[in-house]
Amino acid sequence: EIVMTQSPATLSVSPGERATLSCRASQSVSNNLAWYQQKPGQAPRLLIYDASTRATGIPARFSGSGSGTEFTLTISSLQSEDFAVYYCQQYNNWPLTFGGGTKVEIK
């Protein structure tokens, strides 16, 4: 099983600032990686797939990069609606696995 490790667990950021979230895979997943955003009481929402492709309707301030074992989600200028938990997920191998999440909170 591929283990996905996200860091940091919590990220404190001021509105308007840049946020950088990391996701590391225990073995290469090529570019088969997705990022999701989840707000309290809501289902996750797909942000990025194939490591760097924004999903439909996702603002350009969200960008993904990386391949192999190291991946990054960048939010260029945090808006109030961006404070949430973010998960990465690999789909290169079965079983599909998620990272433990990074909570982005208001500083």
64 near another protein, judged by CB under 8 A = no
* 39 to 21, 27, 29, 36, 89: CA distances (angstroms): 16, 29, 27, 10, 17
70 near another protein, judged by CB under 8 A = no
- Using the contact rule CB under 8 A, the part of the chain among 16-24, 63-71, 75-83, 88-96 near another protein is 88-96
DSSP 8-state code for residue 31: T
3-class DSSP state of 82: helix
Site for another protein in 2-41 (CB under 8 A): 32, 34, 36, 38
Burial of 37 (C-beta count, 10 Å sphere; 0-12/13-18/19+): buried
Contact residue for another protein among 24, 54, 67, 96 (CB under 8 A)? 96
Interface contacts to another protein, rule CB under 8 A: 1, 32, 34, 36, 38, 43-46, 49-50, 55-56, 87, 89, 91, 94-101
